[in-house]
Amino acid sequence: MRNALQEQLLKAGLAKKAKIDQVVRDKAKQRRGKTAPEPEPAISDAERQRQERVERDRALEAERRAQTQARERLAQARQIIDQNRITVRGEDAYRFPDGSVICSVLIDPSMRPQLAKGTLVIVRDGADNYAIIAKAAGDKIAEREPELVVVDHSRVAKDASASDDDDDFYSRFEVPDDLVW
């Protein structure tokens, strides 16, 4: 039993009667369930390529999403810095390490003890600019972008609590109050 398309292909000379009969027999066997159908290589290649494309698209989307979230966190941190910046009209230079470089900002004399206690924090604002903000704002920035926080002595004090032996030894020596480096 042939369909109209098979008859047209036979009349046009595009298909042979033996090949059409073979296809009809294969389909009849598949319907009866005697043999498992063999997957066609073109279909499996197309399916594999489609799955690879889906995985690649998924990975690219995850990377784009991560980049977008990183930009959002950086923008939030910059906004917090702009809103909580303390304007400084001081003439004293406060020097601090930023990586392997010693940097300085001008501060009021009353700000030096606050920086030493950790109630004020110095954060990076741009490439070479620094801002002084309150500790609470510094904690918010540290949650979003920890590499922007340059000087936070309260965090250093928590980390340095393990070196109590050194503190006991050096407590015998008196440090002058007017020491500025």
Does residue 43 form part of some domain?
Answer: yes
- On average, the pLDDT of the chain sits at 84
The pLDDT of residue 38: 63
Does residue 180 belong to any structural domain of this protein? no
Per the structure, the count of domains in the chain is: 1
181 assigned to some structural domain: no
28/42 Cα distance (integer angstroms): 22
Residue at 117 is within a domain: yes
DSSP H helical ranges for 13-163 = 17-32, 41-84, 111-117, 135-144, 153-159
Taking Cα atoms as reference points, which of 87, 155, 153 lies closest to residue 125?
Answer: 87
Indicate whether 33 pLDDT > 90.
Answer: no
Residue 8 forms part of a structural domain: no
Query: How many whole angstroms separate alpha carbon 55 and alpha carbon 45?
Result: 15
> Does the pLDDT value for residue 158 go beyond 80?
no
User: What pLDDT is stored for residue 181 in this prediction?
Assistant: 63
Q: Which domain holds residue 49?
A: 17-162
Q: How confident is the model at residue 71 (pLDDT cuts 50, 70, 90)?
A: very high
Confidence at residue 88, expressed as pLDDT on a 0 to 100 scale: 82
132 token code pair: 């002084």
Of the two residues 55 and 47, the one the predictor is more confident about is 55
Q: Is residue 168 a part of any domain in this protein?
A: no
Confidence of residue 63 (pLDDT cuts 50, 70, 90): very high
Global pTM? Answer: 0.58
Is residue 171 one of the residues assigned to a domain? no
- Structural domain includes residue 4: no
